[in-house]
A and B are shown apart, each in its own frame.
Chain A
Amino acid sequence: MSKTGVFICHCGSNIAGVVAVEKVVESAKTLPGVKVAMDYKYMCSDPGQNLIINTIKEQALDRVVVGSCSPRMHENTFRMTIERAGLNPYRLEIANLREHVSWVHSEKASATDKAIKLVELAVAKVRRNEPLQKIYAEIEKRALVIGGGIAGIQAALDIAANGYKVTLVEREPSIGGRMSQLDKTFPTMDCSACILTPKMVAVAQNKDITLLTYAEVEQVHGYVGNFEVNINKKARFVSMTKCIGCGVCTEKCPSKKRLSEFNANIATRKAIYTPFPQAVPNIPVIDKDSCMYFATGKCKVCEKVCPAGAVDYTQEDEIITEKFGAIVVATGYDLYDHSSYGEYGYGEIPDVITGLQLERMINSGGPTGGHIKRPSDGKEPETVVFIQCVGSRDDAKGKPYCSRVCCMYTAKQALLLREHYPNSKAIVFYMDIRAAGKGYEEFIQRVQTEYGVLYLRGRVSRIYEKKDHLLVKGVDTLSGNQVEIKADMVVLATGLKPKKEAQNLAQLLHIGYDQNGFYTELHPKLAPVETQIAGVYLAGCCQSPKDIPDTVAQSSATAAKVGALLSKERLEIEPMISEVNPLLCSGCRMCYNACPYGAIEMEDTEIRRGEIRCVAKVLVSVCKGCGVCVAGCYCKAIDLKGWTDRQLMEQIKVISYC
């Protein structure tokens, strides 16, 4: 007979306020296999844990049930507790009396009944608990960072600073991300390039960081500590080793019609190009789609003018396979495409531009040399209307969330406009002002008082294109008045949305994303940079919209997590994984096909002496213990340790005999 101890926690008044704890204890005492049952105010506290340890020793208990908060909260705590008392840590079951009972029920009598039942279920299950042994695996002491925006840059630098090798993979020809497109940054107004480019250079010069630009992750196999990743290095058609970065090729290239992605489509670029002068690496790429040579077989101007002989039209994509212990996803964001807003002209009015386009205009390195000019006629605008929340907080557009940076960048841009053209007028239409960062509220105040930017609370109902100006109609909801503004230009604060192919990457990595497409963290409060896949971490805007300070803080946090993982000598893996009984396995491969992690292998095995059959085998360090295979196996040959059919049948008995 098992000797189970049942320990019921009051959780202060969290549980005891609703559940009659003494009744639960009394009922537990009568259950088969239970030797002692008791309660305590805070079981997770030091005295609480000591109570468990001492009772285990005094009563020679071999199994423990704790009735407390959710196992997600304290299962590990109590596992360690009973381990300290000499028990196998997996001889523990938690009855969740808080999240499943006291927090969700108010009717005391029936809540107590439910608590009694849950404890009975846990006692039934623990009776069939097997002692489990921890599993260990080796760790590949290198990290992969996907995405070279400020998030990826910071994470790579911090991981390298911890002494680990990092590979940074960036899809574009240069690292830098969105931050490299910005002019000044709120709220301190330091120049974006001045603070970013040193970091970009630091990445390139760090001997522990391998930089792969114009590259993408194609396949991911393996598991925490042992990921195997295929990376496609796209053909640049320019030799990385020969190119000296002189830029003659770009200058002479006759194909110049393609819109520049870096300049948010307000300028063109050549077919052979570096996105911006401070690019890292400063080596151009040939965009095959706009290159005349690739289209017609004639041209080859760049090859002729290159003094280093670096142009090579025969280059091909190259797939490299490498192993990593940890992966950081820092793929950033795209901007909402406002062509779905009829009231703002479906993206077809030339003088209605986006915030990012304005950033490129104000930037002295931008195509307009730092001058704000109307796209339609190149004139300096006098009155500029800013509209916030375009593609944010708009259920009708399927974008219910706040993009968090638009209030601030609009204020920043209004300030820059007023600074640049003291005679200009800036008017901002807003829904609410969200300025919750350090120094942010003060910044907004300054923009209104010192820079005289006019803030109108309300929505714009329509923008009309007149002969040489725009007519902006809307409501000022504070005064209740209809307003009509004669404007020269309108700037839309378009919101942040997940990167276009974010879901594909999520599928490669098996990580989740929320209803808006942003990657989901393991726990919104307690595990904000981890994902549900061990060894895969998040940083920056791919997880949710955020500004640069938050992005950098999160990236350093991620780097710390990666460091903690890679510094381990070996990896401890939860032993609650599937196991095949080869005697019962028919080799049907149902589990093999169903397993979402590829954790099942089919292998010829000697079942009995002389009888060799091809049966399933679980790869211990790949299995996540999700149980899909168990549900699929009609032979009932595969079982989940810690959640065996035997345990569950015991629980079903408790329920069905009630």
Chain B
Amino acid sequence: MSKTLQETARNLLAENKVEVIIGYAQGYDAFHTRPVFISNVEDVSKLIINEYCTNNLSVYLPIHKKLKVGIVTAKEQDLASIHELINEHQILEENVIIIEAAKQISSLSSELGEAQRDRGIDEEDGRQEAWKKRGYDMAVEEFEKLSAKERETFWDKEFERCIRCYACRQVCPVCYCPDCFVNRTMPKYLNEAVDMNKNKLFSLVRMLHVFGRCMDCRACNNACPVGIPLRLLTKKIAKDALELFGYVSGQGQEHPFSTFEKDELLEEIR
């Protein structure tokens, strides 16, 4: 598995097709991986691929825009995010070579249930039960059935715990803004105080910003140190994009917010 990957990487570097390879290396234990940037052929042995490769490495592509890059993708969504970044002109198609490891993983971990694999390493943390209780496993459809009040209470509880570390934003491939709105002071859009309402507002505005651009790659969800089920939100916006605008991110369609079709108008807002 990792051997074939290393072979591919070695050839790409040796033939000067790429200047750097972005991939996964062993983390602090067997259940964790970390990103690695390889430009020397000798280092390719560091590359690994397994079911714990959960980060979306495409987040590192825009800063390498000028280089020829080989990038390892561990899941379909990572692949989609590369296409989204190309669409958004953050990277150049001709500069990126994708080393698609997604298929290899799925054969590797076929014995793991689909849902578990979705969650990557996290079930090992023993947080799974707690998450389930808090609605982490809830399908969007189920969540939509709750009353507005119930939903509000749900998120109030979740964002009560947010520590505003911005890990969700840092790992997000489409949160590449040179200066995120929360950091701005002129004007000050949002107070940085850690406060449930402000925390919630930050995440909701972030969701609005990534609407139609988020590939539901789960990076933010997995990065959140306090385990806020951000995936419920990312799944919801993906569903809305599809239902309201027939839009799927990463497919090269024109973003629904930059186009206008008359029949998109909802009865209520007409």
Contact = CB atoms under 8 A, between A and B. Distances in A.
Interface of A: 583-591, 593-594, 602, 614, 631-632, 634-637, 644-646, 648-650
A644 B189 CA distance: 12
Count chain B CB atoms within 10 A of each CB in A584, A591, A614 and give the residue with the most.
Answer: A584
B64 interface: no
Interface stretch (B101-109, B149-157, B171-179, B224-232): B171-179
Given A587-B90, A594-B257, A635 B189 contact: no
29 contacts: A583-B178, A584-B177, A584-B178, A584-B179, A585-B178, A587-B89, A587-B90, A588-B88, A588-B89, A588-B90, A590-B255, A590-B258, A593-B258, A593-B259, A594-B259, A631-B257, A634-B181, A634-B209, A635-B177, A635-B178, A635-B179, A636-B189, A637-B178, A644-B187, A645-B189, A646-B187, A649-B187, A649-B188, A650-B187
Contacts of A634: 177, 181, 208-210
B176 A593 contact: no
Count chain B CB atoms within 10 A of each CB in A586, A632, A637, A650 and give the residue with the most.
Answer: A586
Interface of B: 88-90, 176-179, 181, 184, 186-189, 208-210, 254-255, 257-259
B89 A589 contact: yes
Nearest to A602: B89
A359 B8 CA distance: 83
Contacts of A587: 89-90
Nearest to B211: A634
Q: Which 4 A-B pairs have the closest CB atoms?
A: A593-B258, A649-B187, A594-B258, A634-B209
B194 to A, nearest CB: 19
Contacts of B189: 636, 645, 649
A590 B257 contact: yes
B270 to A, nearest CB: 13
B258 A586 contact: no
Contacts of B181: 634, 636
Nearest to B209: A634
A634 B177 CA distance: 8
Given A590-B257, A634-B177, A650-B187, 7 more contacts: A584-B178, A586-B176, A593-B255, A634-B181, A634-B210, A636-B184, A649-B188
Contacts of B208: 634
A498 to B, nearest CB: 18
A645 B89 contact: no
Contacts of A648: 187
Nearest to A639: B187
Contact of B88 (A589, A636, A637): A589
A484 B88 CA distance: 72
Contacts of B184: 636
A591 B184 CA distance: 20
A555 B161 CA distance: 68
Nearest to B208: A634
A586 B259 contact: no
- Mostly, the B contact residues are loop
A583 B178 CA distance: 7
A644 B186 CA distance: 10
Contacts of A602: 89
Contacts of B254: 593
Nearest to A612: B66
B186 A646 contact: yes
A202 B259 CA distance: 46
A585 to B, nearest CB: 7
B177 A632 contact: no
Contact of B177 (A586, A594, A644, A645): A586
B12 to A, nearest CB: 27
Contact of A614 (B89, B177, B209): B89
Contacts of A637: 178
Contacts of B255: 590, 593
A593 B212 CA distance: 15
A632 B187 contact: no
A587 B254 CA distance: 16
A638 to B, nearest CB: 12
B257 A586 contact: no
Contacts of B89: 587-589, 602, 614
A636 B254 CA distance: 20
Nearest to B181: A636
A397 to B, nearest CB: 23
Given A594-B258, A632-B258, A586 B187 contact: no
B257 A632 contact: yes
A632 B184 CA distance: 18
B186 A586 contact: no
Contacts of B187: 644-646, 648-650
Contacts of A593: 254-255, 258-259
Contacts of A591: 258
A593 B188 CA distance: 27
Given A632-B258, A649-B187, A586 B178 contact: yes
A631 B255 CA distance: 13
A414 to B, nearest CB: 44
Contacts of A588: 88-90
Count chain B CB atoms within 10 A of each CB in A583, A635, A648, A650 and give the residue with the most.
Answer: A635
A648 B188 CA distance: 11
A632 B259 CA distance: 10
B37 to A, nearest CB: 21
B215 to A, nearest CB: 15
A344 B208 CA distance: 56
Contacts of B209: 634
A585 B257 CA distance: 18
Contacts of B178: 583-586, 635, 637
B134 to A, nearest CB: 29
A648 B83 CA distance: 35
Contacts of B88: 586, 588-589
Contacts of A635: 177-179
Contacts of A614: 89
B190 to A, nearest CB: 10
Nearest to A636: B181
B64 to A, nearest CB: 14
A589 B188 CA distance: 25
Count chain B CB atoms within 10 A of each CB in A632, A634, A649 and give the residue with the most.
Answer: A634
A592 to B, nearest CB: 8
A614 B66 CA distance: 13
A645 B190 CA distance: 12
B188 A586 contact: no
Contacts of A631: 257
Count chain A CB atoms within 10 A of each CB in B88, B181, B255, B258 and give the residue with the most.
Answer: B258
Contacts of A632: 257-258
A421 B253 CA distance: 68
A271 to B, nearest CB: 39
A626 to B, nearest CB: 12
A589 B252 CA distance: 13
Contacts of A594: 257-259
Nearest to A589: B89
B250 to A, nearest CB: 14
A657 to B, nearest CB: 13
